[in-house]
């Protein structure tokens, strides 16, 4: 019995993914998927939760001016890293009135975030390795009222553990 398998084109799309073939796999009629990396895209750094509404269906409502500054779209996946409580979760962004300073965590996530908590709201994007090498994430630092500051400095890693630099 003959197989009805049809080899994919050397360059094209398979199940919606961009594919590219090297010369050996192209000669065989197969293609390989181009690797994509999940790369840090942007964040709103150390925002203060203003509301937590357990009765809402879900998501996090964020001041629209902060969404725009951080290049976050409505309904985009957003990670919430709670600095105060040490919790992490993922939800999606909704628009809150611009200039309101609102950071309202909704639904079940409201059990892990309370008004006054400091949070980091982060997004990620899929990129090829070449795109990732050229990418610079957007970091929006805010004051105690969730207003963007003028601080445009690059992120600096925290202090390196002393034990890393000591000889074994």
75 is catalytic: no
Q: Which of 30, 56, 92, 100 is catalytic?
A: 92
Determine which one of 4, 42, 56, 59 is catalytic.
Answer: 59
Take residue 164 and report the two structure tokens written for it. Answer: 């890393």
Q: Residues near 160 by Cβ (< 8 Å), separated by ≥ 6?
A: none
Give the whole-angstrom CA distance, residue 46 versus residue 39: 20
Q: Is 30 a known active-site residue? A: no
Cα dist. 161→81, 150, 158, 164, 165 in Å?
22, 30, 9, 6, 7
Q: Residues with catalytic annotation? A: 59, 92
């Amino acid at each position: 019995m003959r197989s009805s398998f049809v080899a994919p084109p050397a360059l094209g799309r398979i199940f919606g993914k961009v594919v590219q073939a090297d010369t050996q796999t192209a000669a065989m009629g197969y293609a390989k998927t181009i690797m994509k990396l999940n790369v840090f895209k942007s964040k709103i750094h150390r925002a203060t939760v203003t509301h937590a509404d357990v009765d809402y269906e879900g998501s996090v409502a964020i001041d629209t001016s902060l969404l725009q500054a951080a290049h976050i779209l409505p309904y985009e996946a957003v990670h919430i890293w709670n600095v105060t409580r040490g919790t992490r979760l993922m939800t999606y962004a909704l628009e809150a009135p611009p200039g309101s300073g609102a950071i309202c965590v909704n639904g079940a996530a409201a059990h892990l975030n309370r008004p006054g908590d400091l949070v980091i709201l982060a997004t990620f994007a899929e990129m090829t390795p070449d795109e990732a090498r050229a990418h610079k994430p957007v970091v929006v630092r805010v004051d105690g009222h969730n207003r963007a500051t003028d601080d445009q400095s690059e992120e600096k890693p925290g202090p390196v553990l002393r034990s890393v630099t000591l000889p074994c």
